[in-house]
Amino acid sequence: MEALGIDIGGTGIKGAPVNTVTGQLLTERYRLPTPQPATPEAMTETVHQIVEYFDWKGPVGAGFPAIIHQGVAKSAANIDPSWIGRDVRAMFEDACGCPVTVLNDADAAGTAEVRFGAGAGRDGVVLVLTLGTGIGSALFTDGHLVPNTEFGHIEIGGKVAETRAADSAREREELSWKKWARRLDRYLDRLVFYLSPEMIIIGGGVSRKHEKFLPLLTIDAPIEPAQLRNQAGIIGAAAAAI
């Protein structure tokens, strides 16, 4: 089975056809800049351009930076707030003439990791976290997604976790890997207490440097770096479309 996966971010919108059995991209990714401002009409046209670029007629999956309920955006992260309350799925389907599945972008990346990456074949509760500007989260139980978790926004010591434990906090405050790992450890310890995961997968750009901080963590749960990196959003979105 094949589907077109589209990964929608605050700065770029990327797409590629995907073999949803193997998780392999079938072509090079095609990327367009995210329109500024990232209004519904402008972003829908950009998604349409990606579908047209591949001359795609089949199912499309789109990872979208928002809480998504039944195709409708309930929040807006790094996109125009006018998206809130809009039916993303209906707008994309009308513009592209294809069946479209829309899900939260962190859920899309997590889906890829659980099906084809570090969490493949793992039963029980698996938590995928993307550490970047903020902290995205995706929660799975026996391979089934619990959608729209926002674990980056839990409060620890009266502060929102992602403001202290995201990779952007490490860069902004010029923290050493050891000091940042201590913050990350405290955050992960809370999640382990709440969720008792069988496995935690750490993604985001910082996962490329996992050897600098994962060995410093002391949490009582298996933890692994993500494997699919910047392809995860596309692969997971395509997989969700089938």
In the chain, what are the domain boundaries? 2-108+231-241, 120-226
pLDDT of residue 179: 98
Per residue in 133-152, pLDDT tens? 899 999 999 999 999 999 99
Which CATH number is 120-226 given?
3.30.420.40
Domains 2-108+231-241 and 120-226 share a fold: yes
pTM: 0.95
pLDDT tier at 158, thresholds 50, 70, 90: very high
SS3 158: coil
Q: What's the CA gap between 194 and 145, in Å, rounded?
A: 17
| Residue 20 φ/ψ, nearest 5 degrees | -80, 0
Radius of gyration of the chain (CA): 17
Q: What's the CA gap between 148 and 146, in Å, rounded?
A: 7
Report the mean per-residue pLDDT for the chain: 96
Reading the block at residue 200, the tokens are: 């935690």
Judge contact between 105 and 138, C-beta under 8 A. Answer: no
What letter does residue 132 receive in the DSSP assignment?
Answer: S
Q: What's the CA gap between 136 and 106, in Å, rounded?
A: 5
Q: What's the CA gap between 87 and 120, in Å, rounded?
A: 32
pLDDT at residue 232 above 90?
yes
pLDDT of residue 10: 86
**Residue 192, Cβ density class (10 Å: 0-12 exposed, 13-18 middle, ≥19 buried):** middle
pLDDT tier at 77, thresholds 50, 70, 90: confident
Q: What's the CA gap between 19 and 222, in Å, rounded?
A: 29
pLDDT of residue 78: 81
> CATH class for domain 2-108+231-241?
alpha beta
